[in-house]
Amino acid sequence: QVQLVQSGSELKKPGASVKVSCKASGYTFTSYAMNWVRQAPGQGLEWMGWINTNTGNPTYAQGFTGRFVFSLDTSVSTAYLQISSLKAEDTAVYYCARPGYSSSWNWFDPWGQGTLVTVSS
Amino acid sequence: AIWMTQSPSLLSASTGDRVTISCRMSQGISSYLAWYQQKPGKAPELLIYAASTLQSGVPSRFSGSGSGTDFTLTISCLQSEDFATYYCQQYYSFPPTFGQGTKLEIK
């Protein structure tokens, strides 16, 4: 079945970097884009952007430019989210999510299980 | 960006009740709307897309309606496993945006 499996929780100090992985299985990785969504503690869902899995070209939502980088390793069907210069306000669960049909973004299904990134000194 | 107003933010109900959750858009989005269910500590799960199309495997007690600016998620007969938080999401225009969420709790 179609599945997205993310890497485990991370605890980082302010100023450090983190890289979250999202491994896809059950479908052709390059046939669908990959999206990223953030959920701060006790808050709602915020779309961060998407990456074209054919070209590697990323698109970032406002507020997610500069310190946030989407990347791919198509040889292992994996998408990555890297966040640099971490701040306390980056503490959140980060989800990868596949669009429902072969496009940049539409509805999202499935979702990865989420990766909690905690930024604390 | 399209603004979304989801209401209510908190809904108290009992098993067997029929409940509705509303999502109102700042501009028309045709039927480019999805609904998700999220349980504590879990990822969101797709319930409905294209405003009214039930995702495979989702129980038929869930239904969606609306087009343009006003949309509704209805749960016809609440089961214990339905107590969760629900989000609407528009994918009509960039950036895709989510409603603020509705927490459905046991009365």
Asked if A118 and A12 touch (Cβ cutoff 8 Å), the reply is: yes
Chain-chain contact of A107 with B95 (C-beta, under 8 angstroms)? no
Residues of B in contact with A47 (CB under 8 A): 95-98
CB atoms inside a 10 Å sphere around CB B10:
11
What pLDDT, on the 0 to 100 scale, is given for residue B33?
Answer: 98
Residues of B in contact with A108 (CB under 8 A): 34, 36, 44, 46, 89
Q: Classify residue B18 by burial, with Cβ atoms within 10 Å: 0-12, 13-18, 19+.
A: exposed
Residue B1 binned pLDDT confidence (cut-offs 50, 70, 90): confident
Residues of B in contact with A2 (CB under 8 A): none
Distance from CA of A88 to the nearest CA of B (A): 20
What pLDDT, on the 0 to 100 scale, is given for residue A103?
Answer: 78
Q: Report yes or no: A112 at the B interface, CB cutoff 8 Å.
A: yes
Closest residue of chain B to A5, computed from CA coordinates: B43
B65-84: average pLDDT: 97
